[in-house]
Structure 1
Amino acid sequence: MKAIIVTTHGALCKGLLETAEMMVGNLENTFSLSLDEEGITKFSESMDKLINDLKGVYNEILILCDLKGGTPYNQSIKHFFLNPDVVKVVAGVNLPMFVEVYLQLQSVSLEELLKLAIETGQQSISN
């Protein structure tokens, strides 16, 4: 069973999930984690706890982050290096990426979800 974590600076991740829920209905196996005014140390502790809790239930976790190189990404990539068979990370989350990945969450492999996230995120940008 797979799970998605959306992690961002501020409340962006919560807004993204609320918006997606309007489109696809109740979201299952999906979690959000915000970097807020409590700071990096608290965020890191929260990320560690969330990942450890989820690993007891889910055997694969895809983390979607807002910005490569930012704290949510850096903390997420740490978990990828600690658990490369369980955790995958994509930076640059947007609504089309999240919705497409969510709709395919239990249908395809974690590697395929990773590729789908990147392709959908890129294809959703246009002029």
Structure 2
Amino acid sequence: MIHVIVATHGPLAAALLESGKMVYGDLPHVHAVCLNDQTGIEGFRRDFAATLRHASASADGVLVLCDMQSGTPWNVACEQAFNPLTSPPVAVIAGVNLPMVLQADEIMHDAQVQTAAARLIALTQPTLVQAKPVPSAQTDDF
């Protein structure tokens, strides 16, 4: 089973998790870690490590969904993902959004976290759309 950590700047991770619960109900294998001014980078590192330990229990892998590439949440997650001592394996994706949080349910039964990461991207990429007016043909039928 794959567990998921949403890791972001500010309260975004917690808000995404709360919003996900509004839509799908309880998401027991999805966890949030937020970087904030009060705890700073070292506090985030400690919080992330504790959440990773919790998420790793009985998991085949942990998928970390970050708000953006190269920020503190991404860097801390990548430190774990690329550490050969990290077990179970960790994969990291940037660009978290609500559809990713909701679709986490679809990938949680994958055995390989890297496969789950690729599948989650494939599942949610079609949700990135721009609204455009659709011309409709006027019919004579009333």
**TM-score normalized by the length of structure 1:** 0.88
> How far apart, in 1, do the equivalents of 2:49 and 2:10 lie?
18
Unaligned runs of 5+ in 2: 131-142
**Are 2:5 and 2:55, in contact at CA under 8 Å, matched by a contact in 1?**
no
Matches of residues 103-122 of structure 1 in structure 2 within 5 Å? 103-106=106-109, 109-122=112-125
Q: Which residue of structure 2 lines up, in the alignment, with residue 42 of structure 1?
A: 43
Aligned residue for 1:62, secondary structure, equals: strand
Please list, as runs of the form range in 1=range in 2, the aligned pairs for 1:6-85 lying within 5 A after superposition.
Answer: 6-37=6-37, 38-82=39-83, 83=86
Structure 1 distance, partners of 2:66, 2:31, is 12
CA deviations 1:1-33 (Å, max 9, x no partner) are 321100100111111111111111111111100
- Separation in structure 1 between the aligned mates of residue 66 and residue 24 of structure 2, nearest angstrom: 20
SS at match of 1:4: strand
CA deviations over 1:73-94 (Å, ceiling 9, x no partner): 0000111001386111101001
Task: Using the TM superposition, name which of 117-126 and 63-72 deviates more.
Answer: 117-126
Give TM-score scaled by structure 2 length: 0.80
**Corresponding pairs, count:** 127
State the distance in 2 between where 1:62 and 1:103 align: 13
| C-alpha separation in 1, matches of 2:111 and 2:24 | 18
- Work out whether residues 107 and 120 of structure 2, in 8 Å CA contact, stay in contact via their aligned partners in 1: no
Instruction: Tell me which structure has the larger Cα radius of gyration.
Output: 2
Match of 1:90 among 86, 89, 93: 93
Structure 1 stretches of 4+ with a deviation exceeding 3 A read none
Partners of 1:4 and 1:30 within 8 A in 2: yes
Q: Select the structure that is richer in helix.
A: 1
Give percent identity, aligned residues only: 29
- Choose 87-96 or 116-125, whichever is displaced more: 116-125
Q: Is the 8 A contact 1:62 1:114 kept in 2?
A: yes
